[in-house]
Structure 1
Amino acid sequence: MPASVARPEGTVADTVRRLAGAQKGAQGAPAYSRFVNRKLGRVLAALAFHARLTPNAVTGISAVCTFTGIAVLALVPPSWPTGLTVALLLVLGYAFDSADGQLARLRGGGSPAGEWLDHMVDALKIASLHLALLIGWYRFEYVERGSWLLLPLAFSVVSVVLFFATLLNDALRAQHGARTRAVATGERPSVLRSLLVAPTDYGVLCLVFLLLGTPRVFPWAYALLAAGTAGYLALACVRWFREMGRLTR
């Protein structure tokens, strides 16, 4: 183990408290990610730290959980047990996804390779989750074949574009030495905004699969999240374009 890597001291509870005081900014984070997933990730990061796991190993655990859930979605007939299994695996994978970055901070900082791996796993899960749902819907005739089958395709496009735009915005801000208005002014993250953007939250999408056993309800709940995410992306793109135009002034 490199000398620069911090070693566990105290109890797991002590480490959790250390992490609680060293969280990254919550500005813009949706409610589930901000109030639930980060706390779950904090506990997992502390446990991983005391188990001497590396951030890349935690990313690997996240990937195994997530892609097992995605495989179940595509290969197992929809039912209440299937929905529960998929939701639990996706929620656990998302929590480990939060834990790897927190673990990296505990160990003294991450690496470009680790960040690359984390983003690649995120990109793959965002693109494949909706396509796996489409496969399951088609194979098991969960919905009437027709316009419903276009919904996961549309949601996949929206999710991928939103993920790409988020990374691109951060990269361009860093390139031009810019910060968001909230960071520059020290503005406190808005709880109301976190709640309003909840439909865009990957964690909320994970929980919606709990309804998979109800064909009359799940497609409409999924459609509602798709519409909310698409609407948010459309409005945000206007704001982001204006923000990027100001970077060169």
Structure 2
Amino acid sequence: MTRITADTRSIPESYADIVARLAGAQKKRAAGAPAYSIYVNRKAGRYLAAGAYKVGLTPNLVTAISAVFTFSGIAMLLLLPLEWWSGVAVWLALAIGYAFDSADGQVARLRGGGSASGEWLDHVVDATKISTLHLAVLITAYRGFDLPTPEMLLIPIGYCIVGAVSFFAMILNDQLKQAYGYPTSTAEGKSTPLRSLLVIPTDYGFLCMVFLLLGAPYLFFAAYTLMFVANAGHLLLASIKWFRDMTRLDAARVDA
């Protein structure tokens, strides 16, 4: 993790100074990071992080704010009618929650580094939202969508499984590589604009935007289904690569 030395000047930093300091010490992009996360969410998180640091919020409190917005959006998905304005409300709450999710780590770097408890809390909140969001879509589709066949309800169930497995596998990959002394996803490869655009369907921020279609259930479910197919395909291909990576770790350990 990139560390930013805490400012010890007697003159308080301005908000603009804090934003500039964050921009100058931004951690390296993970290889294959999707475009929304890189070009939209990280920048939004930077501005939120600067404000949070300015008023003295801790990283864990920023994580809690992220959770409040995220789970409020999920609750609105379950409770609000299927109208265009409810889709906007759900998207806005989820998108703000995602931006604060980016901000907590940046606040930690501004304060001199993260903590094990903070990283644990962040990952637990992320894991919870990934599964909860798709289960909320399942309930909403069962209650309010006039689906041609009930078997289509398997789509949000499948998406829930794909999301949970993908998140766990990515975290486990980094942990195992770190344990074996190999580059993690933020240190290996190169993130290019084309690569980041190709993996947009795997981006949580792009998924949040799909909820703007909630007032048109058929259109929403069609877009949601395409996202599921893309994510399932990505997980299948990525799993083959990840398993090969782990096989190379085994070989390197034997050679050592």
Q: Give the TM-score normalised by structure 1.
A: 0.93
- Work out which of the residue numbers 54, 63, 69 in structure 1 matches 2:67: 63
Contact 1:73 1:132 in 2 (8 A): yes
The alpha carbon displacement at 1:137 in A equals: 1.4
Residues matched between the structures, number: 244
Return the alpha-carbon distance in structure 2 between the equivalents of residues 182 and 222 of structure 1: 28
Q: What amino acid is the match of 1:121?
A: V
After superposition, give the CA deviation of every residue in 1:168-219 in whole Å (9 maximum; x if it has no partner): 00000001000159835xx542111100011000000001100111123111
Which residue in 2 is equivalent to 1:200?
202
RMSD: 1.7
Instruction: Structure 2: give runs of 5+ residues left out of the alignment.
Output: none
Distance 1:81 1:143, change over 3 A: farther
Per the normalisation by structure 2, the TM-score is 0.91
Partner of 1:101: 105
For the pair 1:24 / 2:27, whether they are aligned, the reply is yes
Q: Distance in 2 between matches of 1:230 and 1:126?
A: 14
1:78 to partner: Cα distance: 1.4
Deviations 1:62-83 (A, max 9, x none): 0000000001111222110110
1:142 and 1:51 map into 2 onto residues whose CA distance is 48
| Contact 1:130/1:152 (8 A) holds in 2 | yes
Q: Is the 8 A contact 1:16 1:42 kept in 2?
A: yes
Give the gaps of 5 or more residues in structure 1: none
Equivalent AA in structure 2 for residue 91 of structure 1: A
Aligned to 2:169: 165
State the partner residue of 1:210: 212
Identical pairs, percent: 55
Q: Is the Cα contact below 8 Å between 1:62 and 1:96 reproduced in 2?
A: yes
The separation in 2 between residues aligned to 1:232 and 1:132, in whole angstroms, is 23
2:222 to 220, 223, 248: 220
Mapping of 1:1-249 within 5 angstroms? 6=7, 9-26=12-29, 27-180=31-184, 183=187, 188-248=190-250, 249=252
Mapped to 2, the partners of 1:235 and 1:143 lie a distance apart of 30
The letter of the residue matching 1:243 is D
Counterpart contact for 1:41–1:97, Cα < 8 Å: yes
- Give 1:136 deviation, angstroms: 1.2
Q: Secondary structure at the match of 1:183?
A: coil
